[in-house]
Structure 1
Amino acid sequence: MRLLKQGHVRLLLMLTVAVLGLLWMFTLQSCHKTGWDPTYMPRYSWLEYTHADYGRENVYNCSAIVQGEKKALAQAKLLSTTREFSKSVQIPNEYYINATQDCRKFRKSRKYIPFPLSQEEEDFPLAYSIVVHHKVQNFEQLLRAIYAPQNIYCVHVDKKSEASVFSVIRAITSCFPNVFMVSQAVDVVYAAWPRVQADLNCMADLYNASTKWKYFINLCGQDFPLKTNLEIVRMLHSLRGRNSLESERMAETKKWRVSNVHLIVNGEIKGTGKAKEPPPFNLPILSGSAYIVVNRGYVRSVLEDTRIQALIEWSKDTYSPDEFLWATIQRMPGVPGSTWPNHKYDMTDMNAIARLVKWQWHEGSQGSLEAVYPECQGNHVRSVCVYGAGDLQWMLEQHHLFANKFDIDTDPIAVQCLERYLREKALAELHETYGRIFCY
Structure 2
Amino acid sequence: MRLLKRSWLCLLLKLAIAVGSLSLVFLVSQLNTDWAPGFTHKYSWLEYTADVGGPEKGCNCSAILQGDWKALERAKILTITKDVRKSIQIPDDYYINATTDCRSFKLRRKYIMFPLSKEEEDFPLAFSIIVHHKVQNFERLLRAIYVPQNIYCVHVDKKSKASVSSAISAIASFFPNVFLVSQADNVVYAGWPRVQADLNCMADLYNASTKWKYFINLCGQDFPLKTNLEMVRMLRALRGGNSLESESFPPEKKWRVSYVHQIINGGIQRTNKTKDPPPFNLPIMSGNAYIVVSRGYVRSVLKDRRIHALIEWSKDTYSPDEHLWATIQRVPGVPGSKWPHRKYDMSDLNAIARLVKWEAHEGLEDSMGAVYPECKGTHVRQICVYGAGDLQWLLEHNHLFANKFDVDTDPIAIFCLEKYLRQKALAD
TM-score (norm 2): 0.91
Q: Give the 3-state SS of the residue equivalent to 1:51 in structure 2.
A: coil
Cα distance change, pair 338–59 in 1 and its aligned pair in 2 (3 A): same
Deviations along 1:187-223, one digit per CA (max 9) or x if unpaired, are 0000000000000000000000000000000000000
Pair 1:275-2:274 in alignment? yes
**Aligned partner of 1:367: which letter?**
D
- Between the aligned partners of 2:55 and 2:408, the Cα distance in structure 1 is 16
Aligned 8 A contact 1:355 1:402 in 2: yes
Displacement of 1:41 after TM fit?
3.0
1:185-334 matches, within 5 Å, as 185-334=184-333
1:89-238 matches, within 5 Å, as 89-238=88-237
The aligned counterpart of 2:7 is: none
**Aligned partner of 2:317: which letter?**
T
- Between the aligned partners of 1:320 and 1:237, the Cα distance in structure 2 is 31
- Between the aligned partners of 2:86 and 2:276, the Cα distance in structure 1 is 52
The aligned counterpart of 2:8 is: none
Cα distance change, pair 221–122 in 1 and its aligned pair in 2 (3 A): same
Query: Structure 2: which 5+ runs fail to align?
Result: 1-32
- Between the aligned partners of 1:399 and 1:42, the Cα distance in structure 2 is 26
The aligned counterpart of 1:410 is: 409
Displacement of 1:43 after TM fit?
3.5
Per mean C-alpha deviation after superposition, the further-off stretch among 405-414 and 57-66 is 57-66
Deviations along 1:252-301, one digit per CA (max 9) or x if unpaired, are 11110000110000110001111111100111000001000000000000
Q: Give the 3-state SS of the residue equivalent to 1:101 in structure 2.
A: helix
- Between the aligned partners of 2:252 and 2:134, the Cα distance in structure 1 is 33
Q: Give the 3-state SS of the residue equivalent to 1:129 in structure 2.
A: strand
The aligned counterpart of 1:12 is: none
**Aligned partner of 1:397: which letter?**
E
The aligned counterpart of 1:437 is: none
Displacement of 1:81 after TM fit?
2.6
- Between the aligned partners of 1:364 and 1:52, the Cα distance in structure 2 is 39
Q: Give the 3-state SS of the residue equivalent to 1:271 in structure 2.
A: strand
Aligned 8 A contact 1:54 1:89 in 2: no
- Between the aligned partners of 1:237 and 1:44, the Cα distance in structure 2 is 26
Displacement of 1:57 after TM fit?
7.2
**Aligned partner of 2:265: which letter?**
N
RMSD: 1.4
Aligned 8 A contact 1:56 1:89 in 2: no
Aligned 8 A contact 1:333 1:340 in 2: yes
- Between the aligned partners of 1:86 and 1:416, the Cα distance in structure 2 is 14
Q: Give the 3-state SS of the residue equivalent to 2:273 in structure 1.
A: strand
Cα distance change, pair 344–43 in 1 and its aligned pair in 2 (3 A): closer
The aligned counterpart of 1:46 is: 45
**Aligned partner of 1:188: which letter?**
V
Displacement of 1:52 after TM fit?
2.1
Aligned 8 A contact 1:51 1:57 in 2: no
Q: Give the 3-state SS of the residue equivalent to 2:100 in structure 1.
A: coil
- Between the aligned partners of 1:340 and 1:57, the Cα distance in structure 2 is 48
Q: Give the 3-state SS of the residue equivalent to 2:355 in structure 1.
A: strand
- Between the aligned partners of 1:127 and 1:371, the Cα distance in structure 2 is 35
The aligned counterpart of 1:73 is: 72
Aligned 8 A contact 1:86 1:412 in 2: no
Max radius of gyration: which structure? 1
**Aligned partner of 2:194: which letter?**
R
**Aligned partner of 1:197: which letter?**
Q
Deviations along 1:168-200, one digit per CA (max 9) or x if unpaired, are 000000000000000000000000000000000
- Between the aligned partners of 2:250 and 2:41, the Cα distance in structure 1 is 54
- Between the aligned partners of 2:241 and 2:45, the Cα distance in structure 1 is 37
**Aligned partner of 1:136: which letter?**
V
Cα distance change, pair 143–58 in 1 and its aligned pair in 2 (3 A): closer
The aligned counterpart of 2:16 is: none
Aligned 8 A contact 1:193 1:317 in 2: yes
- Between the aligned partners of 2:116 and 2:42, the Cα distance in structure 1 is 13
Query: Structure 1: which 5+ runs fail to align?
Result: 1-25, 31-36, 430-440
- Between the aligned partners of 1:97 and 1:40, the Cα distance in structure 2 is 35
- Between the aligned partners of 2:54 and 2:93, the Cα distance in structure 1 is 16
Deviations along 1:330-362, one digit per CA (max 9) or x if unpaired, are 000000000000010000000000000000011
- Between the aligned partners of 2:196 and 2:229, the Cα distance in structure 1 is 30
TM-score (norm 1): 0.88
The aligned counterpart of 1:385 is: 384
Cα distance change, pair 298–310 in 1 and its aligned pair in 2 (3 A): same
The aligned counterpart of 1:359 is: 358
Q: Give the 3-state SS of the residue equivalent to 1:52 in structure 2.
A: coil
- Between the aligned partners of 1:128 and 1:321, the Cα distance in structure 2 is 20
